[in-house]
Each structure stands twice: as C-alpha cells, then as structure tokens.
Structure 1
Amino acid sequence: MGDGKSSPNPSSDGEEEVRREMPAKKKVVVVMGATGAGKSKLAIDLASYLPCPIEIVNADSMQVYQGLDVLTNKVPLSERQGVPHHLLGTVAASEEFTSKDFRDLAIAIIDDILARDRVPVIVGGTNYYIQALVSPFLVDDVVDDITACSLNSSRELKSVDSCAGYERLKEIDPVAANRIHPNDHRKINRYLSLYESSGVPPSSLFQGEAAKKWGRADCLRYDCCFIWVDAALPVLDRFVDQRVDCMIAGGLLNEVHEIYKPNADYTRGLRQAIGVREFEEFFRYYFSNTMADGTCVCGNCSAYNSEDGTPSSINEYEEALEPNFLEILNSNDNNLKVLLCESIDKLKANTRKLVRRQKRRLNQLKKYFGWDLHNVDATEALLSMPCCLL
C-alpha cells in the first residue's frame, strides 16, 4: 500500500494513466471567420511567424471548384508568397462535392503535410466542412448506415425546389435544419428522404453516444488551434460592398457569363455560389435581347442567325465574343442597366446575409461545443486595407 496515504480521488490516477497511454493528437491550425474578414491573408502571413513551414488546406465549399476565381475570391498564385495551397480549384465545376468528400480528402492531405514536418493550416468560411474534418463523428456516415438498411432507401425525392426543401425540413425537424447549411441541398434531400422512408427525424441522429461525440472539443480528431478572424458587422458590411465592386471591375460578370445556361440547375456544383443565381434575370434578359435583334449589345457577336436572331447551334453562347459588361453601367439601355444594378445589389445583400449566418454559426460552435476560438479583431485592418488584399 506504499506509504499508506490514500489518493483523494482514486479514479484520477487511472484516468491519468489512460491519458498518458493515448497517442498525442496531431496538431493543426484552423483559421475561421466570416466572408471578407481576412482569413486568407492571415493564414498566408502565419508563414512568417510559425517555426515550421506551413501548407494551407482550403475549407471553402466554393473555392474547391475549378472556375469563377474572381467570384469565389481565390487567392491568386502571385499573392500566396510561396505557401502551398491544397483543395483550391481542384474539383470539377459540375461535380457534387460533399462535406464527407472534403473530410476524406483533407485528412489524407493533412497526414502528408505532417509527415513532411510541416504545419497544416485549415482556412475557410464553410464551417460544416471544418466540423466534418475535426469531429470524429459525421452525420453523413450515420445517414448512410440507416438508409442502407431501409427497404425504401432507393426512393428519391424528385422535383423538390431547393428553398422549399429546406423550409420543409425546418417544419418537420428544426433541430436538424439548424445544423446544416441552407445550400447543402444534397444533405437536405437525404434528410427528407430518410424521414419519408423511415419516419425517423434526422435530429434523432444527434442523440445518445453520437451526440456525446459530435463536435465536442474533447473529442476532436486533432489538437486544434482555432483562430477566429472577426470584425464589427457595419465594417464587414461596408467591406463586402466594396469587395463586390472590386469583383465586378475584375471580371466577375464575364466569369458568370461563361457558365450561364438558361434553366440551369443552380443547386449543384459551382453554380451554387453566391453571385451566380443573382445574375440570372439579368443574363436571361441580356440573351433574349441579343437574340431579338441578332446583335450583341456590348460587342460584335457573329454567332447568331441573322434571319431569326437565334443561335445557329447549341454551343453558340460559348463561341460568342465576350462582351464588355461594364459598359452597360454607363449605357443608355435603361432595362439592362437597371437589371444589372439590381443583380449587383442582390449579390451584396446575399453576401451580407451569409456573413451573419457564418458569425452565428461560429458563436454556436464556441457555445455548444466548447471550441476555444482565439479571437482576432480585424476591424482596424479592414478599415485601413484595400478590399482587393483580403
């Protein structure tokens, strides 16, 4: 019995022994924050402060796709200061890329970075991507198990409008709806399909042992240093508006013009990005106006049939010479000009809404899961720095 003294907490010695025997968690840095707060620049700047070389893993659900570099605000190669970036513009624009896909790819990349004695820095505003990566529990895994055992698992929900689907989920299970992104249409449909086929509310997946594991800081896959880049909402709103103006000047409209298709599916792939659907009405009118008179409003287009003003082949939209859309803002075509200005205002308004959703979600992560988010106030930086640098 040793010296005869009893431990004040007999179980503590055993728990401490278990902790000593557990392998140390791998260390990663996670830079989080709302759109426009300056996450990308801060992550790159970390290369000057950390003792080991860093490599950045993108965790933005739209920046993973190829294309729309201006709209999605990808960091140009010339501004990366030699820091390697992963999962940035690597996924085909039409591909359905889920949080589960992100997790599986990112884990392998992080393991490779650590094996080379470098520091992985996860950067992005898509919080459910980051949750999927750092938490050992992913809802998609449980849904897969349940639907695989369901007699009606092959049943699909057809012709469900994306907005209506999310509203329907909020009605039947507001708890589950609050845990996913309104634009995560695949998961919305999976949850609705699960409910329709089995009657199981999706939020039931968050009960029992699963609820204990999901998202809790003491159960995370990595030893995470969370950095929350934040700023006052009025400052972020002003910066978002300025950044949209910079994007318009930098070619955003030409990018969207290249992927525009009438009646396209805006619930999959890159077309989900904020800044695509907002210009649908403008481009619909633009193309109908172009086809009506057989000429391009802001340039010379030879791709149209001069007799009836319609494209002479299905690919003629892509073959037409790129117009200068900025001229519309100074043109005398009031209808086009009004539609364009309204579309730009929609983009700004929806981006401001996204900022608020992201900030709310970060507060939830901090409050409900006990994530220790080290706050970095970027208010002064946003006030003093040109929008093109963040």
Structure 2
Amino acid sequence: MKKQATSSNVPRRSKKIVVIMGATGCGKSKLSIDLATHFFPSIEVINSDKIQVYNGLDITTNKISMTERCGIHHHLLGEFKPTESHPEFSPSDFRSAGDFRINEIVNRGKIPFIVGGSNSFIYALLVKRFDSGFDIFESLNPVINELRYQCCFIWVDAIAPVLNQYLDKRVDEMLDSEMFEELKEYFEKEGFSDSSSDGIRKAIGVPEFEKYFKGKISYEEAAMEIKENTRVLAERQVKKIMRLKEGGWNIQRVDATATLTAKMGSEKMAGGENPARKIWEEQVLEPSAKIVKQFLLE
C-alpha cells in the first residue's frame, strides 16, 4: 500500500462523504455502482469491509469484480498484503488509510463513498475521537456521534427471514462459481494454520473448508457451517448498525426485502425480465439517490 499522507486543501469537517452500510448480501456494492452510473458519475468508492481489504480469495471474500465495478475507482479493495511485522489491517489502519484516500478523492473534486459491512472500520474512520483501546460494540461506553466529516448514511436492509434465505442461496452460488477450487488452491499454497486469527483466514469459508480438507467434516457439513456463520455475521452487522443509530447517528434505511424476494423467485416479466431490477430501482436506488442529492445540496 502507498505511504499515507495527511495534507488536503479542504478542511476535514467541510468534506462530504456518503456511507453505504448494511448486512452482507443486501446489495451495498450494487447500490454504490448504480448511484455512480445513473446519478453521480464523480463517485469513488472506499471499501470498508475488513476482509475484502486483504489481497486474494476474491470469490470466497465476495469482492466485486472488475466488470461489475463499471470503471468506478475502488480503494482499499484487495490492496493489503500481510507481513510478519504487520499481519492484520486494524481499525486504526483503516482510519489512517481511509482519511488519506478521502483527501485524495476530495482534492480531485470527487465524492468519497464508504461502502462495506465492517461497522468497526466505519466507526474508527468517522468519529472525531477514536480510542483503539476498546470496542464500543462490545462495551457499555456511549457511541461518539461527533464526526470529523459531513456524512450521509444509507442503510440497505432486509427482514431477517428473507435475507437468511437469500444468503443460503448466495453461498450455493459461490460454491458453484469455483469457490471450492479457489480454497483448495489456497490451502495447497499456504498450508493449514493452528489459528484462524490472521487476516484473510478469518474470512467465512476458510476455517470451514480447512476442517474439510483436514478430513474432519464432510463437504456438506462445511457448506452448512458457512451458511450458518454467514447468517450470524449478518445478524451481528445489523445489531451494530442499530447501536450506532440508537447512539445518535442519522442513518436512513432503505428496504431491499422485496428485491431479494424477487431475485430468489422464478417469475418473469413480459420480455423475460426478472422483476427484481424494477423493484430495486423503485424501492432502493431511487430513494437512495434522493437522499444523496438532498445531502449534497445542503
């Protein structure tokens, strides 16, 4: 990663940034790309997923592909390569690196979009006073709502039963899209580990299939564990967003439930089009665009 600098021509508090939050699978990356291609061409995205920041395992970590990015510049996505002296990318690292990238983007006259599901990273980046010594999501300490930028928060959400069903389907699709082969190649190259605490080894799919390749569980059991752990992750992410919202952050929710339901259905519109796209535009994309437009005009 490039050396971090701190200079900027724009005072920090006058910088406007958009933050797209939500549980895994709700469509955060898709929303950022759609907003860029339909409404705000000056967007640049800063990834705030703490697993996707690591280099490698693109399918397992569900990184947005180059084709799907539609030419939109993405920062801190697959950039970090752990070393012996720096094995993990911490919230403090993200605070420093994210601030540097925001400076770069704003100085180019563009709009930074922070996109990802790691709320500990988002919190570390945005609050004026950050203490890495404790996790506000695991403590009774109050949420700091004094932020060092002007922020617009959009929460892409879906009701749990529908999201869980969709996440199960997505895991099956990932396994059908060479996730298994990617993990097999990873373990052949990197070997096994006595600890899953190092960087990308925390990614859902890695510890589960490590047990499979060691002969401890079956393929079906590994797949079921991935689904269960993905659902647990989504629930944890939603609880953290609610903690921030209840702590005073002005987070505006858009509902992707109907979109996910339509994506799982087989019903087609006239012409063979799945209704999910139209529902997405009406219930998620257009309301989000209005929120962002109002924020940028303030």
TM over 0.5: yes
Match of 1:357 in 2: 236
Work out which of the residue numbers 123, 144, 149 in structure 2 matches 1:215. Answer: 144
- Cα displacement string for residues 267-288 of structure 1 (whole angstroms, at most 9, x for unaligned residues): 01110111111122210028xx
Matched, 1:83 2:72: yes
Partners of 2:12 and 2:149 within 8 A in 1: no
Which of 1 and 2 has greater Rg?
A: 1
Matched, 1:366 2:245: yes
Match of 2:201 in 1: 271
- Cα displacement string for residues 264-314 of structure 1 (whole angstroms, at most 9, x for unaligned residues): 43101110111111122210028xxxxxxxxxxxxxxxxxxxxxxxxxxxx
Match of 2:154 in 1: 227
Call closer, same or farther: CA 1:79–1:23 in 2, change over 3 Å. closer
- Local SS of the residue matching 1:117: coil
Partners of 1:39 and 1:124 within 8 A in 2: yes
Partners of 2:12 and 2:148 within 8 A in 1: no
Q: Distance in 2 between matches of 1:47 and 1:358?
A: 25
- Cα displacement string for residues 73-100 of structure 1 (whole angstroms, at most 9, x for unaligned residues): 1010011111110000001156311000
TM-score by length of 1: 0.60
Matched, 1:69 2:58: yes
Once the two structures are superposed, the pairs formed by residues 130-149 of structure 1 within 5 Å of their partners are 130-140=122-132, 143=133
Percent identical residues: 42
Any unmatched runs of 5+ in structure 1? Answer: 1-21, 144-175, 181-202, 287-337
Partners of 1:59 and 1:123 within 8 A in 2: yes
Partners of 2:137 and 2:243 within 8 A in 1: no
- Cα displacement string for residues 234-292 of structure 1 (whole angstroms, at most 9, x for unaligned residues): 11101100110011011111222233223443101110111111122210028xxxxxx
Question: Quick check: which one's helix share is greater?
Answer: 1
Alpha-carbon RMSD across the aligned residues, in angstroms, is 2.4
Work out which of the residue numbers 35, 50, 57 in structure 1 matches 2:24. Answer: 35
- Cα displacement string for residues 17-41 of structure 1 (whole angstroms, at most 9, x for unaligned residues): xxxxx98521000000000000000
Partners of 2:119 and 2:241 within 8 A in 1: yes
Range with bigger deviation, 230-239 or 249-258 = 249-258
Work out which of the residue numbers 99, 120, 132 in structure 2 matches 1:128. Answer: 120
Partners of 2:137 and 2:240 within 8 A in 1: no
Q: Distance in 2 between matches of 1:358 and 1:233?
A: 12
- Cα displacement string for residues 175-197 of structure 1 (whole angstroms, at most 9, x for unaligned residues): x66625xxxxxxxxxxxxxxxxx
Partners of 2:13 and 2:148 within 8 A in 1: no
Range with bigger deviation, 93-102 or 116-125 = 93-102
Q: Distance in 1 between matches of 2:12 and 2:149?
A: 11
Work out which of the residue numbers 239, 242, 262 in structure 1 matches 2:192. Answer: 262
Partners of 1:235 and 1:382 within 8 A in 2: yes
- Local SS of the residue matching 2:218: helix
Q: Distance in 2 between matches of 1:81 and 1:51?
A: 13
Q: Distance in 1 between matches of 2:60 and 2:20?
A: 21
Q: Distance in 1 between matches of 2:125 and 2:82?
A: 22
Matched, 1:280 2:195: no
Match of 2:35 in 1: 46
- Local SS of the residue matching 1:251: helix
Match of 2:102 in 1: 110
- Local SS of the residue matching 1:267: coil
Q: Distance in 2 between matches of 1:84 and 1:251?
A: 26
Q: Distance in 1 between matches of 2:163 and 2:227?
A: 11
Partners of 1:230 and 1:377 within 8 A in 2: yes
- Local SS of the residue matching 1:248: helix
Q: Distance in 1 between matches of 2:29 and 2:119?
A: 15
Q: Which amino acid aligns with 1:124?
A: G
Q: Distance in 1 between matches of 2:185 and 2:12?
A: 50
Q: Distance in 1 between matches of 2:183 and 2:16?
A: 39
Shift of 1:51: 4.5
Partners of 1:103 and 1:132 within 8 A in 2: yes
Match of 2:45 in 1: 56
Q: Distance in 2 between matches of 1:252 and 1:23?
A: 41
Partners of 2:22 and 2:117 within 8 A in 1: yes
Any unmatched runs of 5+ in structure 2? Answer: 1-10, 266-276, 281-298
- Local SS of the residue matching 2:67: helix
- Cα displacement string for residues 200-254 of structure 1 (whole angstroms, at most 9, x for unaligned residues): xxx69x5xxxx6xx521xx101110000000011111011001100110111112
- Local SS of the residue matching 1:66: coil
TM-score by length of 2: 0.78
Q: Distance in 2 between matches of 1:116 and 1:237?
A: 40
Higher relative contact order (CA 8 A, sep 6+): 2
Shift of 1:372: 1.0
Once the two structures are superposed, the pairs formed by residues 85-100 of structure 1 within 5 Å of their partners are 85-93=74-82, 95-100=87-92
Q: Which amino acid aligns with 1:65?
A: Y
Match of 1:377 in 2: 255
Match of 1:348 in 2: 227
Call closer, same or farther: CA 1:278–1:24 in 2, change over 3 Å. closer
- Local SS of the residue matching 2:208: helix
